Structure 1
Amino acid sequence: MRLASSPVRSLVGAAIGTLLALSSMSARADFQSDITVKLIAPGGVQGDPTPIGVSQVVTTANLATGIVSPLFGGSGDVSNYLADNEHVFFSGDSIRVRSYSGTDAFTTGYVGLGGEHARYEFDDLSIAGKTITGFTVYAFDNFLTSGYSGLASPLASDLVNLIDPHTVSLDLDNILFNDRGTGSSFAHADFRIDLITQDSGGNGGGNSAPEPATLALLAIAALGARAARRHA
């Protein structure tokens, strides 16, 4: 199909530009509410079997900063357990955790019990207009998607669980860190959990309203059909 009319071409070009802009805007969503971070270790830590069950809220104003160790000014029930340089924060629609070895055996030192893992739980996860359906997880330094990993075993995907559409967990007791050649106290791994979402239903019938990018596509189709009729 050839569009001979320059006004039509201009309209189509504008619609395509709108589509690209809207697609870029919708490519990344942010958390829209406070997030509760829980640290659970039913078997305590190595050398102290006292169960751990603490939680701390990361407010929307502090999502990018998150929970950091006392070395960096953090304070709170979860922060008090973090080693120097450890932190938990949230970026866009991803959860990011830096965890350090807490023992000479290159493990975190947190202990599970009775088939229940020691773990972080990230609760009250909420992204506007979206339902969390899954995740992709990486364990590369500096939260990248490739490169060097401080995780020796198991696979990063084996450590993460989607408990429900608002809760994700990261197991801690079965992490084995790589030896970086500088001793166990420097062994660490970065975990990046990118959440997978789908549009939430918005009209009670299971179908959501069209997204802006979809509307832009419909506009392009309508303009093309109109031009075709005029120049047939």
Structure 2
Amino acid sequence: MRLASSPVRSLIGAALGTLLALSSMSARANFVSDITVKLIAPGGVLGDPTATPISVSQLVTTANLGTGIQSVVHGGSGAVSNFLADNEFVSFSGDSIHVSSYSGTTVFTTGYLGLGGEHARYEFDALSIAGKIITGFTVYAFDDFLTSGFSGLASPLPASGLVNLIDPHTVSLDLDNIVFKDRGTGSGAAHADFRIDLITRDASTGPGGGNNLPEPATLALFAIAALGAGAARRRA
């Protein structure tokens, strides 16, 4: 089998390098706009005889996204922050949402109450990823936001049963259905780390919901194929 000439090999090598670079680029995804974090508890909190409903929101700015900064933290200066217990936080990294939730009661629950069929929940609104449409999610409840290991969740529902995709820009995490495991150190240390990885597809650019523009990696493959065809013609 004959090898392509040296110039052709160089061109193919360059195209392969472009393919790898573009594939890596298209694999990266980050939130590209400010996100609104809402805390909603229509039944208030456990132990409050007035059952005062909670409905507050806090803006997470784009400047803090993807930096590893805990964007909503206890003791912060935001409406949601004021309700979070020590060590609780919500953060955003790449195209993932991280929530560390701790027990707010002595019965290993969050203490947030639903009412009339409406769950107490976090809502993450205005989620936007460049060139993508959010179509689903994968949820984990393992310590340190890992995909396996020890889970602090003892709910009868799996972690995926606590998360809902409300629309392509809004995801919620039910809080009233969370039951924490007893780690043997009391309810104050009971917690679960939720990692919500968003599933996306390319945004539509043509009629019928299709994408008429090839992916960058596909374009690079076309270039390699064209170079190979040209080399074959020259050998003929």
Shorter chain as denominator, the TM-score bin is: over 0.9
SS for the counterpart of 2:154 is strand
CA distance, structure 1, for counterparts of residue 147 and residue 212 of structure 2: 32
The equivalent residue for 1:216 is: 220
Tell me how far 1:107 sits from its aligned partner: 0.4
State the match for 2:73 in structure 1.
68
Residue of 140, 143, 151 corresponding to 1:141? 143
Unaligned runs of 5+ in 1: none
C-alpha displacement at 1:211, in angstroms? 2.0
Q: How does 1:94-113 map to 2 (within 5 A)?
A: 94-113=96-115
1:8 aligns with 2:13: no
2:19 counterpart of 1:19:
yes
CA offsets 1:107-142 (integer angstroms, 9 cap, x no match):
000001111110000000001111000011111111
Partner of 1:33: 33
Give the C-alpha shift of residue 195 in structure 1.
0.5
For 1:51 and 1:11, how far apart are their aligned partners in 2? Answer: 65
How far is 1:162 from its partner? Answer: 0.3
Distance 2:61 2:191 in 1: 26
Contact 1:86 1:99 in 2 (8 A): yes
Q: TM-score scaled by structure 1?
A: 0.95
Alignment of 1:34-53 (within 5 A): 34-48=34-48, 49-53=51-55
Pairing 1:71-220 to 2, within 5 Å after superposition: 74-153=76-155, 154-203=157-206, 206=209, 207-220=211-224
Q: Which amino acid aligns with 1:200?
A: A
AA aligned opposite 1:118: A
Deviation at 1:3, TM superposition (A): 3.4
Alpha-carbon deviation of 1:186? 0.3
Given the two structures, how large is their TM-score scaled by the length of structure 2? Answer: 0.93
Structure 2 residue runs without a partner (length 5+) = none
In the aligned structure 1, how far is the partner of 2:228 from the partner of 2:2?
9
Q: Deviations over 1:145-187 (max 9, x none)?
A: 1111111122110000000000000000010111111111000
The answer to which of 100-109 and 6-15 deviates more is 6-15
Provide the residue aligned with 1:56 in structure 2.
58
Q: Is the 8 A contact 1:137 1:192 kept in 2?
A: yes
**Aligned residues of 1:200 and 1:208 also touching (Cα < 8 A):** no
What CA distance in whole angstroms lies between the structure 1 residues aligned with 2:206 and 2:4? 41
Q: 1:52 to 1:208 in 2, by over 3 A?
A: farther
Give the C-alpha shift of residue 231 in structure 1: 2.1
Q: Structure 1 residue 204: deviation in Å?
A: 5.3
What is the Cα-based RMSD across aligned positions, in Å? 1.3
Q: What are the Cα deviations for residues 185-205 of structure 1, in whole angstroms up to 9, with x where unaligned? A: 000010010111111122456
Query: Percent identity of the aligned residues?
Result: 80
Q: Which runs of 4+ in 1 moved over 4 A?
A: none
Letter of the structure 2 residue corresponding to residue 60 of structure 1: T
